[in-house]
Amino acid sequence: MEPQCILIVDDDPSIRRLLVAYLRRLGFGLQEARNGREALEKMRAGEADLVIMDLRMPEVSGWDVLRERAADPSLRQIPVIIVTANNLRDVAAGIADQNVAVVLAKPFDLDALLNAVNGCLEHHPRSTPVAA
């Protein structure tokens, strides 16, 4: 079985590099997107088993991706973890109906992120959780 593919969506290249290096070392397949437009293209192409995404990005924001995902039955089953510098209370209110699995505040703990990833992938058909 091929490794699960996680799509990392953040306009900050240092965040993408950190997440890609960490998760690749654990055996995950990785895709990257710099904004929501690229994320939606990769999600629609079937390239993601899980999405880890920021909310504030240029062109198409994470908020826009969540709205598009909610409206598209083929995307709704893809779990999403939000990593954000936004106020978590504001984020929680904004995503109440968006079926987001986990919200982590930046800066986030990598162990907490791995726990969130494993928790999401346990419910995905191709999942095999990874130990740190």
Give CB contacts under 8 A, 24+ apart, made by 23-30. 23/117, 26/114, 26/130, 26/132, 27/3, 27/130, 28/3, 28/4, 28/117, 28/130, 29/2, 29/3, 29/4, 29/5, 30/5, 30/6
User: In this model, does residue 51 exceed pLDDT 70?
Assistant: yes
Q: List the Cα angle 70/76/88 in 5-degree steps.
A: 65
Record the pTM.
0.86
The per-residue pLDDT for range 14-48, each reduced to its tens digit, is 999 999 999 999 999 999 999 999 999 999 998 89
Regarding predicted confidence, which is higher, 56 or 86?
A: 56
Domains and CATH numbers, the chain: 5-122 (3.40.50.2300)
